[in-house]
Structure 1
Amino acid sequence: MVRKPKILGIDLFAGAGGLSLGAQLAGVDVTHAIENHPAAAETYRINHPQTRLIDKDIRLVAPVNKKTGSLSILFGGPPCQGFSTSNQRTRSTSNPRNWLFGEFFRFARFGKPDWIVLENVKGLRETAQGQFEDMILDEFHNLGYSSAVWSLCAADYGVPQKRHRLFFIGRRRGNLPSLPKRGVTHPVTVRQAIADLPRLAVGADVDELRYRISASHAYAKKMRGTRASCTGHLVTTNNDLVLERYRHIPPGGNWTDIPKRLMKNYTNLVDDRSRHTGIYRRLKWDEPSVVIGNYRKNMLIHPEQDRGLSVREAARLQSFPDRYAFLGSIGFQQQQVGNAVPPLLAEAVFRAIIDAC
């Protein structure tokens, strides 16, 4: 049996740690991470105590050298809001946050890692007529890396969510890995993912609660582990008008199901009911979730309860295990979960890389 070499990892723009968790599940030893947001940094630190976290602006951080005698992988997801299809006004070369991917190549130029994995939203491909994708691939080439771009759906890898992400894979020497093999025959549904969690009211603020029922599906059992309770049962408080809107939306429906009289402050939508179907979307029990993203802003609704998702429900739909704690205000926790790379999707990517070593 051929023993696989040890791989050391560095996570840039680490956020709450979804990519790091996936890398660790695949067998990567994540030695360093960089995250500037205070709440996200605290979440990362409490869940990854063995990783040295640098909580500074990445532009002020000196690159880290790899240790001799081991393989190294530089990975992370630069801020993607500027590439998102929901942010049309910022999808251009004039948005300075869209240029932070250049920090990857500053670190790569110095440290010369064996692998680079740059993750981002699928919308990066359409931004500025594809200029960002072309520039990223040119940088790989200029630094001496062969490269590939994978567009993957998280639901194909055991994540109960229809979320597509781009992965730029670069390797200094050797063949590039094959696409990760699908991890499931049938996608995990919302019911299979969250039905065992407690029933909650609008504005629920008791962080830790016991499970409502036993887990019946393998996915929920995996997320729970041996725990009897978990944290994150926090729900946004909504006003009466928003609650009235919720009551009109069936499973799979969205804001177009809401009577016009209740949507007067959405004048730009009421005049064209074919647009912006992502807001006020009620999840369906027996399908994977739609993209979590900024689920508070988009008013993503529980399949049968007239409220938004709790932090833990969203984390389950992102494939974070229940042992994973999120810190900061409810708003910051929601942001961390929504911005994260699903760990099970990340694990599939890193396993494909390790198999190619």
Structure 2
Amino acid sequence: MLGLDLFSGAGGMSLGARWAGVDVKLAIEMHHAAARTIAKNHPDCLAIQGDLQHIGGIGNYRTRNEELVIFGGPPCQAFSTSNQRNRGPENARNFLFREFLKFVQAEAPDWVVFENVPGILEKGSRPYVLEIEKKLRALGFKLASGVLDAADFGVPQHRKRFFIVGSRNSTPDLPTPRRIKLTSVNEAIEDLPTLANGADECTLAYGRPAKSQYAKKMRGKRERCSNNLVSDNSKFVVSRYKYIPQGGNWSDIPNRMMKNYADPTRCHTGIYHRLNGDEPSVVIGNFRKNMLIHPTQDRGLSVREAARLQSFPDWYEFVGTIGLQQQQVGNAVPPLLAKAVFSQITRA
């Protein structure tokens, strides 16, 4: 089965598709750093940086007997429940899914996978979902859709994503959550290097032997890992961290230290959230908005730690400035979640 990844980002869906046996031939991504990341980690895939609206078809990759799956997730900021200012119909980014549908119509794949945030199901965005489903059915696809939590598929993070899977030739289905012990933050990252606030040395030796099966799988036979970069937060910000227990947040910080906030009670729960090492992580998102703190070290998460919590293996390297690396990891679909979705397709 051949694959085409639209709005590919750093390649989380492509990696999961490859793990499921899909030969991903082409990835299209507008952002330069994300396009470079997918090119670096998927050398057999043609990675094109550009606007989907100005790019032609996939070329003559298919043979008569090869099935094609087109997949992708148009930018989700406009559908996010945490981004209310951009949810209205006046935001052009709300309609990039139509470019996705144009490609599907032009290339006539056997399968299609559309991915996005669960916020697309909220009242203000629900008409977009209905439009997508109506168009896909008109193109001859049978559909299955629903919200999946990445933690149910081996990812050490509670991250919910909405999927629509379409098939021309069979009845599609979403994967069933596995009855497994959830993978914790400690199991995912405790073997990684000990770092300081503002750590800027990219490649380091591991901090200790991998104990969990998850860490061993992510690590492989490597002796060093990359992307060990940590935001350099001010001393005043870092001084607040020691007051926050695992699972706690800004509300554990003494009021006298929060006077720069006009009304601290309006902070959302992700502000100064210290991860609980014994549980899966909360959602890895925008590093500056969420301000997630390491379970035991008084600093933010490194790019590699966040990548582990997203289920990217350690050989997968992110390129660009630290801010761009953080953005790529935070926006990604967890590869293990994508693998579960595509495995359901390849089995069919």
Q: TM-score range by the shorter chain?
A: over 0.9
Counterpart position of 1:91: 87
Q: CA deviation at 1:264?
A: 2.5
From 335, 338, 342, the counterpart of 2:334: 342
Counterpart position of 1:172: 168
Q: Report the RMSD for the aligned CA atoms in angstroms.
A: 1.3
Q: CA deviation at 1:186?
A: 0.5
1:55 partnered with 2:49: yes
Aligned residue runs from structure 1 range 198-217, under 5 A:
198-217=193-212
Q: With the length of structure 1 as denominator, give the TM-score of the two structures.
A: 0.94
1:326 partnered with 2:322: no
Q: Secondary structure at the match of 1:149?
A: strand
Query: For residues 285 and 234 of structure 2, what CA distance do their matches in structure 1 show?
Result: 22
Q: Tell me how many residue pairs correspond in the alignment.
A: 346
Instruction: Check whether the contact 1:92–1:127 (CA below 8 A) recurs between aligned residues.
Output: no
Counterpart position of 1:28: 22
Counterpart position of 1:152: 148
Runs in 1 of length 4+ with deviation above 4 angstroms? none
Counterpart position of 1:74: 70
Instruction: Check whether the contact 2:143–2:171 (CA below 8 A) recurs between aligned residues.
Output: no
Q: CA deviation at 1:64?
A: 2.2
Counterpart position of 2:136: 140
1:218 partnered with 2:247: no
1:195 partnered with 2:190: yes
Q: Secondary structure at the match of 1:227?
A: coil
Q: CA deviation at 1:148?
A: 1.5
Q: Secondary structure at the match of 1:54?
A: strand
1:248 partnered with 2:243: yes
Query: For residues 152 and 32 of structure 1, what CA distance do their matches in structure 2 show?
Result: 26
Q: CA deviation at 1:183?
A: 4.0
Unpaired segments ≥5 residues, structure 2: none
Query: For residues 191 and 204 of structure 2, what CA distance do their matches in structure 1 show?
Result: 12
Instruction: Check whether the contact 2:175–2:344 (CA below 8 A) recurs between aligned residues.
Output: yes
Q: With the length of structure 2 as denominator, give the TM-score of the two structures.
A: 0.97
Q: CA deviation at 1:114?
A: 0.5
Instruction: Check whether the contact 2:156–2:309 (CA below 8 A) recurs between aligned residues.
Output: yes
User: One-letter code of the match for 1:93?
Assistant: P
Q: Secondary structure at the match of 2:289?
A: coil
Query: For residues 110 and 207 of structure 1, what CA distance do their matches in structure 2 show?
Result: 42
Aligned residue runs from structure 1 range 171-320, under 5 A:
171-177=167-173, 179-183=174-178, 185-267=180-262, 269-270=263-264, 272=265, 276-320=268-312
Unpaired segments ≥5 residues, structure 1: 1-6
Query: For residues 161 and 56 of structure 2, what CA distance do their matches in structure 1 show?
Result: 28
Query: For residues 291 and 12 of structure 1, what CA distance do their matches in structure 2 show?
Result: 23
Q: Secondary structure at the match of 2:288?
A: coil
User: One-letter code of the match for 1:32?
Assistant: L
Instruction: Check whether the contact 1:280–1:299 (CA below 8 A) recurs between aligned residues.
Output: yes
Distance 1:195 1:351, change over 3 A: same
Q: CA deviation at 1:93?
A: 2.0
Q: Which range moved further: 287-296 or 85-94? A: 85-94
Q: Which range moved further: 166-175 or 310-319? A: 166-175
User: One-letter code of the match for 2:294?
Assistant: H
Instruction: Check whether the contact 2:8–2:14 (CA below 8 A) recurs between aligned residues.
Output: yes
User: One-letter code of the match for 1:207?
Assistant: C
Deviations 1:56-83 (A, max 9, x none): 1111001225613210000011100111
Q: CA deviation at 1:261?
A: 2.4
User: One-letter code of the match for 2:250?
Assistant: W
Counterpart position of 2:157: 161
Q: Secondary structure at the match of 1:285?
A: coil
Query: For residues 183 and 325 of structure 1, what CA distance do their matches in structure 2 show?
Result: 29
User: One-letter code of the match for 1:241?
Assistant: F
Q: Which range moved further: 215-224 or 146-155? A: 146-155
Query: For residues 183 and 218 of structure 1, what CA distance do their matches in structure 2 show?
Result: 17
Deviations 1:263-296 (A, max 9, x none): 22321x42x35x5112111100100000001123
User: One-letter code of the match for 2:126?
Assistant: G
Query: For residues 58 and 263 of structure 1, what CA distance do their matches in structure 2 show?
Result: 44
Amino-acid identity (%): 55
Q: Secondary structure at the match of 2:13?
A: helix
Distance 1:318 1:354, change over 3 A: same
Query: For residues 250 and 85 of structure 1, what CA distance do their matches in structure 2 show?
Result: 27
User: One-letter code of the match for 1:171?
Assistant: S
Deviations 1:91-133 (A, max 9, x none): 2222111111111110011110001101101111115151111
